[in-house]
Structure 1
Amino acid sequence: MDYETFIDTVSQRAGVPREKGKDLTRATLETLAERLTKGEVEDLASELPKPLKRHLISPTPEARRFGLEEFINRVSARADVSPEEARKGLQAELTTLRDAVSSGEFRDVMSQLPQEIRELAGSSS
């Protein structure tokens, strides 16, 4: 999936204008980079369009542990949107990632996230 299609898909799924979709994408990927191990962040980045890779920079080798509410709060603050918009954006981002990367890579990403986030992505395994 190319960059433009990725952003358009996130925007459409979140029900927001394209510019807000870009902000939600950036904020969600930055937060994912904190929540995943550095190796997993690098693996995910390798399967995404170049403009999205710059948002996937792991601040530490270890994953930071936080749940859905903290994830939503971080996305909300980074994208300057309400928590409800951040939740819709997170769901749109995760389902778009599922479509954009290999099934194995998506499974690897989901394996590092808590159940409540996996459920939001429609992936309970």
Structure 2
Amino acid sequence: MDEDEWYARHGLHPADPEPVRELLRQQTALGPSNDSLLIHLAATQLFLRGDLADVLLIWRAERSSFDAGCSVEWQLLCGAGRERTLDHLRTLGTAEADEVLAYLAECDPEDVADFDVAERSRWYEHYYAGA
């Protein structure tokens, strides 16, 4: 299934996040053979839910291939808000959470200052409405 088929079937706000999570796990497991556009869409769907439990799942998908890494921008890790995400990762205290914290610490300060979940959500809505 490609990005267009997934979007046609689930839209941008699926009622059940489990198929989205499973898709990300499957795509992550494919490594360099994965579909980065499909990963971006699934990460966006989870971003729009704002569930902190999805941060590491999105991170793993982002790191699964070069193309996925280019496709999944840092903002997709912060659907619950940047500070809440950072606090959550600090609370986890795992090596993987520390990797994400280090990655987020390297973000352009101007991008960070301009980040707003509601505004970014509208951006993704517009992006996928026009796709």
TM-score, normalised by the number of residues in structure 1: 0.31
Larger radius of gyration: 2
TM-score by length of 2: 0.30
User: Which structure's relative contact order is higher, taking Cα pairs within 8 Å and 6+ residues apart?
Assistant: 1
